[in-house]
Amino acid sequence: MKNTTQTQEPSTGSRAALRVGLIGGAVIGLAIAASRLTADPGLAAMGSLIIIAGLFAVGFYAVRDSGDYHATPAARTGAISGLLAGFVASLVMVVISLIQALDPTTQKMVIEATQEMAQRAYSAEQWAMLQQNGMSIESIYPFAVAVQLVCCGAGLPMVGLAFATIGGAIAAQMYKARKVE
């Protein structure tokens, strides 16, 4: 029996999206690690800026490397590269968050800071009522870590998809204009 299915080589855009997405995700993961592990809020904010700029760059370079500057292929290439970069970076973020969450020193710092904020947010009567009902900051900590892991782990690929698609659209417009000239 003859094989009638045709195998096609992956498009240049797909290869570029995979390559740039994986490399970009690893670099963005390093930026996430650096911003999460620093105690300086200025460096953490700079890390956030690098992450967003990196996601734009992932889409931009994936489209540039693909060479296809038409709207739909460029958007697809940018989106795939951003989704992949966001996924790789979210894996790094989840691992770092788990390591930090399991560290007793970090747990103690977070619980103390959360308790201070809660005491400022609630009146003395409300605080006493919460404690009488068995609510403690220590009991909320595991839930807060789980929410952070789920939200950030799922959100980063979506953010990557959005920003890299925009970066890819910018690259398509820039290089399409150059190609015409």
pLDDT digits (tens, 9 = 90+) for 134-156: 777 777 778 878 887 888 778 89
pLDDT, tens digit, for every residue of 46-61?
888 999 999 999 999 9
- In-domain check, residue 144: yes
Identify the domain containing residue 48 by its residue range.
Answer: 13-180
5 pLDDT higher than 50:
no
In a domain, 73, yes or no: yes
77 assigned to some structural domain = yes
Give the pLDDT confidence score for residue 112 in this predicted structure.
84
pLDDT score of 88 more than 90: yes
Report residue 120 as tokens: 């400022």
Task: Give the total number of structural domains in the chain.
Answer: 1
Half-sphere exposure of 18 (CA within 13 A, CB side): 5
pLDDT: which is higher, 39 or 26? 26
Question: How far apart are the two ends of the chain, measured CA to CA in Å?
Answer: 52
> Please, where are the H alpha helices in 38-136?
41-66, 71-102, 104-121, 124-132
Give domain status of residue 142, yes or no: yes
Greater model confidence, 152 or 171: 171
% the chain with pLDDT above 70: 91
